[in-house]
Amino acid sequence: MISEIFSIQNPWRKNTNYSLNLKSRNILNVLIQNMENELILGLIGSRQVGKSSIIFLLIEQLLKDKINPRIFLFQLR
């Protein structure tokens, strides 16, 4: 059961051409610029405003840039 949930939440682990065709957001550049920062970066906001979409866009960009392909996402819903 846990491995099935993991596979569903992390489709890029099996498909390296992962893309959801999401609309790009300006905040994505800020996140990418701060990836080397050792501080914790929080992404907060109201419900249904696109926080998960931004995370998926970031993962997609990291995969395109070939930065650490061992990306794990675990969502509590």
DSSP secondary structure of 20-76: --PPP-THHHHHHHTTT-SS-------TTSSHHHHHHHHHHHHHHTT--S-------
Per domain, the residue ranges of the chain are 2-64
Does position 68 have pLDDT exceeding 70, yes or no?
Answer: no
**What is the tens place of the pLDDT at every residue in 21-66?**
888 888 888 888 888 888 887 888 898 888 888 988 988 888 888 7
d(CA 72, CA 77): 16
1-10, 51-60, 65-74 — which is least confidently predicted? 65-74
The whole-number pLDDT of residue 26 equals: 87
- pLDDT at res. 69: 63
H or E element at residue 9: helix 2-9
Residue whose C-alpha is closest to residue 53's, from 70, 71, 75, 38: 75
pLDDT of residue 32: 86
